[in-house]
Chains A and B, each alone.
Chain A
Amino acid sequence: MTGLLADTVEDPPVCLAIPGKIVEFVPDQPHLAVIEVSGVRRRVNIDLLRDEPLAEGEWVLIHVGFAMSRIGVVEAEEQMRLLAMLGEDTLAMEELAGYRFSEPPARAEDNA
């Protein structure tokens, strides 16, 4: 998604969080993990959850590009359902797709 397109969508709420499953860690980028949400894969920052080791297959809640809490699979399903009920599942997916820092970097040093 381009910045221009992003400006045309509705405002994503600041508070609601998006559930994602950790599917991969990023080599040489210990602060990042690849998460999957409804089949879409993006990188998010996992620095807030590094006190205890994270494992592939774990579920997290994502807020503004950061995994902010660990949750169970049941809670993840509940959260996705809640977003759908609030009519915000599309916005959540747009937010994920809109993370620019998440794009594979052209150069390693570009990796925010």
Chain B
Amino acid sequence: VSAARWLPAAAALALALVPWSANPFYRLAGGDGDGRDPTFDVPLDPSPLRAADFPDDLPYITEAPGASPLAQGNLKAAGQLYLARQLPVQDRRRAEVRVQYRDGRVVFAQHG
């Protein structure tokens, strides 16, 4: 097998390592990979949501008073992603847990 045969493959791999190319290959060849959490559009630490241990089917509501619509949307989506065993409700009075967004932090407020 001629070494020249593998030259194009070697060239492609070498290109992937060019640091200023900012291509997807460099992203995987030279940088840290992404984590297991989504890349949110707003500052949002999902750790409390991931660690939450609520009963199945527990009704909850997400609240981000004063936050941008983008933050409200991200919090709602994060709830549906991490609290998939529970049920998001629209009426605050029916919720047994309120998932609140405060300056990038997620906090829980129990009913009442």
Report if A and B associate in a common complex.
no
Q: Which residues of B are in contact with A by a Cβ distance under 8 Å?
A: none
